[in-house]
Structure 1
Amino acid sequence: MAETKMPARGIGERVRQAAGTGWLLANRARGRPVSFLARKVIDLTALYLRGVGAAVGLNPYESPAGRTIALKPGLVTDSAALEKALDRVKKSRPEDIQHVLHTADKARSGTVAILSHIADESASEAWDTDFVGGAKWPVRFHASYMYSDLLDLGRHSDIKIPWELARMQVLPSLALAYRLTDDVTYVDAATKRFRSWDRACPVGFGVTWTVGMEVALRAISILLTSEILASSGAYFSFVTPRLTESMAEHGRFLFRNIEYSDINGNHHISCLLGLLYLGLAMPSHPESGDWRATAVRGLMTEIVAESYPDGVCHEGSIPYHRLVSEIFLHAALLARRNRIDFGLEFHSRLQRMLDFTAAYIKPNGEAPVWGDADDGRIHSVGSQDVNDHRYLLSLAAALYERPDFAAHGGALQLDAAFLMDADLQKAQDRQRPTAIVRRSEAFAQGGFFILGAADGFALVDCGDVGLRGRGGHGHHDTLAVELSLGGLDVLTDTGCASYTRDRRERWASLGVQAHNVGSLDAREPAPFSDERLTQAGAYQCDVRAWDPIGRRFHGVHRGFGGKAVFSREVALDSSGRECTFADSFTAAGEHSACWMFHFAEKWATPRIELDRAVLGQEAAIVELSWDRSDAHVTALRTSVYPRYGLRRMRWALRIEATFVDSLAIRFQIKLQKRGSDR
């Protein structure tokens, strides 16, 4: 891919961008608390002054010359426990061991997986470049980048590519490969990657320093790598004086550039977790006490602020619920080993977050890709699919002595095991997993309703679009359904296209017709917000009835300008092989209604008959029927994104009907396993 550099900005362009940024800030300031705005003004002034100093050669984040800070090992585990954990995984999931060795072998030769792409040797150390689209960002002081520079919607670019590269999340895999083989060349490769980045990206300069979250995740990756190498002969090959100096710079930078808003999300708590890791790892640093205190105080506050009382993360996305849960779980592990008291409320809320995780795991062990999904993780070393969240439950089962979590967690995964010290391993051994019984559960405050029976699963969304209705990582998916019958995925959500590479593709994956729900007059239920990153708009929804025993849900929403009411009743049969939707629209005048049914990738070409469509795969046949003879039905191929930016195709049915004032229609979906009577 040819490299495209960001165009040089003349005075006129700078003025226009500054004016645009000023308008954006003024628009976003409306309705925000005065105290929040005052704090922002103070912080932006301090940031401006740091930029002035940097312009004359005074880097505010560099560590004082001659100061050597040692890293404290044992933050989450120790060398002996790690050896035992690896032995456990060799028995429970040998594929994880093979995966980490394969990943490390590739990284040693210069090839790294970044999101759904593969970076070769030249691309994997291009720290300022989107190697997929060829876009390149100039190196300058972090405060001088405007947000429009980073989103860069005028080019075929995605800033997440260089950000993900610089998170250094391949380093723990290289360290684990060394612990498995005693081959020091894995450590040499990790050291080489860090030094390459360090030379190209001095503290505070370049796009890898523009966002506090990225700084935090990079620091955590490096500290986890040092944890894995602790007490080994290769420790000081990686943990050099320059690396520890860089960790001090990461701490100084983060403490002065914590991302925050009046309603916070995953960026804020990522910064706090990074400060907690750094503050614990560098106890002799003069600022480390402030880092720890800020992190502990903030994490205790934010677990309540960023989740509903029922445990659902308020970002409007199941993949982001995983990321936020992982952040707080890391914090809980650090607190346990380092005698930090987060209090009962923290641990109670975290367990409720993981109760939701256990509930949304489908019969095939994966999570619905519901809402935005950028594959964000704190760590990733195992072979499981990106949408397999069960390692969180394995960790939590040991941490909280929860046999129900152990049952949902399944075989011990490397992503959980390498964070378990000896006491957690003993706690894991004490758990006697209970049988998994699928049942219906309401997470009404977070807006998710789960119908369960046998091997049947239906998830219904009846909540806001994220960040308490302001708009976060939710989509136009209110009253949409993800459905599994007989243990097989039947209807699946669309997932997430790249945030910035193609705005039309982003709109399409957010839009109502990307989801298994009805729409009206080819319109969106609410306007998109395009101030920065395109986000779904808000519209009102209500629950009319919930019957967990009878496995029934009824909800309505008032999208489409508030002039229409869409109603949906969902019922899951006790066999787990049949589900019905009773839908209706009420809107004055003449209208056209459309329903989309997006089938999982394995289903073959639909065969459309008079009042039904039949699809097959190797294991089963599924039938979708409807009760209106005037419905027009079309089979088509639609996009699905099983992970961020990875576009594949699947079959869908579009069912359309016109009406005056009101319309009611009933859909029934039945699954029959091949070779069975049902």
Structure 2
Amino acid sequence: MEHRFDLLGSGWVSVECDPKSYRLSSGNQKRALAIRQLIDSAYNPIDWQLDFKSGYRWRADRLSGTLRYGHEPAVDVKVPWELARLHHLSWLAQSGDEKSIREFRNQVLDFAAANPPGYGVNWLCTMDVAIRAANIIIAYDLFISQGIEFDEAFLGEFHALIVAHGKHIMANLEWHDVHRANHYLADIVGLLFVAAYLPCTDESNAWLIFSVEQMINEVERQFTPDGANFEASTSYHRLSAEMVVYGTALVLGLPKDKKAILGGKNSFPDWYFERLERMAEFCVHVTKPNGRVAQIGDNDSGRFFKICPSFDEAGGTFKEQHLDHRSTVAAINGLFEREDFEEFSGPDVALDTTVVSALAGGQKITSYLKPGDNPGAMGVQITGGVDSGLSVLAQTFIEPVDATVLNGLTVFSYPDFGLFIWRSSRFFMSVRCGPVGQNGNGGHAHNDQLAIELNIDGEDWIADPGTYLYTPAPNDRNAYRSVHAHAAPKIGDKEPSRLDFGLFRLENNVDARCLCFSPDGFEGRHAGYGVPLHRHIEIQDGKIRITDLISGTKSSKVIPRIVKDGTSLRKLWSLDLRFSPGYGIRD
């Protein structure tokens, strides 16, 4: 109610302004004034165009397509974009009291008045327009489900705003024949929410047919059969999986008149629901004993909905936990009702399950697993020959104080994503070995081939440091993408893949391959340094032995290094970059 926000590392900041300070184009001023007359007089408007971390403000009187970003140091366009996604509206709806109802109404009208369609920074990225549309609609539906009614004047403006979002999305789809990814998927699912909300017209019907067809196509394209996302990022996997589960539930629960537009039959092919179910399995399998996921690839803290965000209340402040993916698993379980998913996600995020179930009209999907079966990625091993004639570069023995922590490990294999995992209730280790993602573009991948992540008894011995920032700090962006930020094999100061192709492209040259993988170890290789480089991992006798080898050079004597704790291991491997648990945040 106080318009204080903590987004992308900003800390709690009041984001208000004098509406008279808004510079709208002359053609938009009359309309904006009419909308503002519907807002309660005591309401203080939000400064929607402001990067409230740097103080930079974009112009609301300029066409969105003419605005620049990434051109000023320390200025981050993602800050106003994140605020304008309006995730917080669903929290108001969960309260449902009169004050929250008025705040929802006022904020929607405030946004409409301050952000004329096609003007200002908040119509610049179609993905953010689409996510905003879905969040406005889901919050509205949560209010309506409680029997709350809104006045006709507001409903007229609300309807006009949703139509404007739909038209903008359709006219500005982020489609690319090769490299389309989560942005296009967001466009499609946002358009689906718009089409489902609006009354049936030729236009909205066309949007519905198109968005359902495209969502199915993109699920097949952007998620591999084992359920993992194709962008080489565990955090972007979560974002895209959320889009898919909420979009799917919405289609399943469409009213009869909307279903008739789709032909009145099941819209989804046979393979579809297994892939969706396995998206949740991937989230479970990449979660460490401390409840946080292994942070592979980029993490911009992006979400589709934040109905039940996870917060750390330590120190008397609420800090969002961006590496807690339980709510995504809970949402997917709204369709499958798997006991293991429910146990994993717990009661704190049960509302995500309820919302998805309600969107789907209570329909449940039969699991691809038969009673007694294990998840598809569990226990999958890879066998193959190991190259000979290699020279040892380095060798490290990791010896946990309690050797029994290595007992009873289960393996999980995601070769299409490029992640191989050993885990138990006390232990997690992963090794990254696979494609750079996005069909070779590598826009959200890091130089992390053959890097490990290690967690023992809830303590991170080795943790990928994350992403930190994108365009505001190019040097930091590349520092967090660098091989030197990761527990990967290194040769001097070299990078295995070039970082100078742009902030959202990684050279696709490594040809990373897993040669063998089992409960006892791993062998993988890549050619990013110009010659094959191998990492050999053995788990036996209460120890983890990691040996890095290279072909084409003469062996020299290498003294094995022994470590017994995480601090020593990080020091040995020179891993001192500050950990970033979410975008814009560093511990």
- Name 1:8's counterpart in structure 2: none
| SS of alignment partner, residue 570 of structure 1 | strand
Structure 1 residues 601-632: Cα deviation after superposition (integer angstroms, max 9, x where no partner): xxxxxxxxx9545547xxxxx7649xxxxxx9
Alpha carbons of 1:544 and 1:254: their partners in 2 closer, same or farther (altered >3 Å)?
closer
Equivalent residue for 1:362, pick from 285, 288, 291 = 288
Counterpart Cα distance in 2 of 1:582 and 1:347: 40
CA contact 2:442–2:505 (8 Å) conserved in 1: yes
CA contact 1:276–1:292 (8 Å) conserved in 2: yes
Quote how far apart the aligned CAs of 1:243 are.
1.1
Structure with the larger RCO, 1 or 2 (CA within 8 Å, 6+ apart): 2
Answer 1 or 2: which has greater strand percent: 1
CA contact 1:269–1:299 (8 Å) conserved in 2: yes
CA contact 1:404–1:434 (8 Å) conserved in 2: no
2:283 alignment partner AA: T
TM-score w.r.t. structure 1 length?
A: 0.68
Equivalent residue for 1:256, pick from 160, 171, 193 = 171
1:207-246 aligned at under 5 Å gives the runs: 207-232=121-146, 234-236=148-150, 240-246=155-161
1:558 alignment partner AA: A
- Name 2:275's counterpart in structure 1: 349
Q: CA RMSD in A?
A: 3.2
Matched, 1:378 2:304: yes
Quote how far apart the aligned CAs of 1:569 are.
1.6
1:219-618 aligned at under 5 Å gives the runs: 219-232=133-146, 234-236=148-150, 240-262=155-177, 263-338=179-254, 339=259, 341-384=267-310, 385-411=321-347, 413-414=349-350, 416-421=352-357, 439-531=410-502, 533-548=503-518, 550-560=519-529, 562=530, 564-573=531-540, 578-586=543-551, 588=553, 611-613=561-563, 615=565
1:163 alignment partner AA: W
Unpaired segments ≥5 residues, structure 2: 18-44, 260-265, 311-320, 376-407
| SS of alignment partner, residue 537 of structure 2 | strand
2:481 alignment partner AA: L
Quote how far apart the aligned CAs of 1:544 are.
4.8
CA contact 1:184–1:234 (8 Å) conserved in 2: no
Structure 1 residues 94-144: Cα deviation after superposition (integer angstroms, max 9, x where no partner): xxxxxxxxxxxxxx1121222222331427822222111122222355463
- Name 1:197's counterpart in structure 2: 111
| SS of alignment partner, residue 193 of structure 1 | helix
Counterpart Cα distance in 2 of 1:227 and 1:383: 19
Counterpart Cα distance in 1 of 2:574 and 2:282: 34
Counterpart Cα distance in 1 of 2:236 and 2:572: 35
- Name 1:644's counterpart in structure 2: 583
Unpaired segments ≥5 residues, structure 1: 1-107, 594-609, 617-621, 626-631, 649-678
Structure 1 residues 613-655: Cα deviation after superposition (integer angstroms, max 9, x where no partner): 5547xxxxx7649xxxxxx95867421110101012xxxxxxx
1:567 alignment partner AA: H
Counterpart Cα distance in 1 of 2:295 and 2:514: 26
CA contact 1:553–1:569 (8 Å) conserved in 2: yes
CA contact 1:452–1:551 (8 Å) conserved in 2: no
Counterpart Cα distance in 1 of 2:300 and 2:574: 29
Structure 1 residues 247-270: Cα deviation after superposition (integer angstroms, max 9, x where no partner): 111111111111111132110010
Counterpart Cα distance in 1 of 2:411 and 2:443: 27
Alpha carbons of 1:405 and 1:232: their partners in 2 closer, same or farther (altered >3 Å)?
closer
Structure 1 residues 568-626: Cα deviation after superposition (integer angstroms, max 9, x where no partner): 12234597xx43312123455999x9xxxxxxxxxxxxxxxx9545547xxxxx7649x
| SS of alignment partner, residue 333 of structure 1 | helix
Quote how far apart the aligned CAs of 1:177 are.
1.4
Quote how far apart the aligned CAs of 1:434 are.
11
1:122 alignment partner AA: E
CA contact 1:296–1:342 (8 Å) conserved in 2: no
Counterpart Cα distance in 1 of 2:511 and 2:85: 38
1:552 alignment partner AA: G
Counterpart Cα distance in 2 of 1:150 and 1:391: 32
Identity of aligned residues (%): 26
Quote how far apart the aligned CAs of 1:321 are.
0.5
Alpha carbons of 1:415 and 1:157: their partners in 2 closer, same or farther (altered >3 Å)?
farther
1:525 alignment partner AA: P
Counterpart Cα distance in 2 of 1:453 and 1:571: 17
Give the total of aligned pairs: 500
TM-score w.r.t. structure 2 length?
A: 0.78
| SS of alignment partner, residue 185 of structure 1 | helix
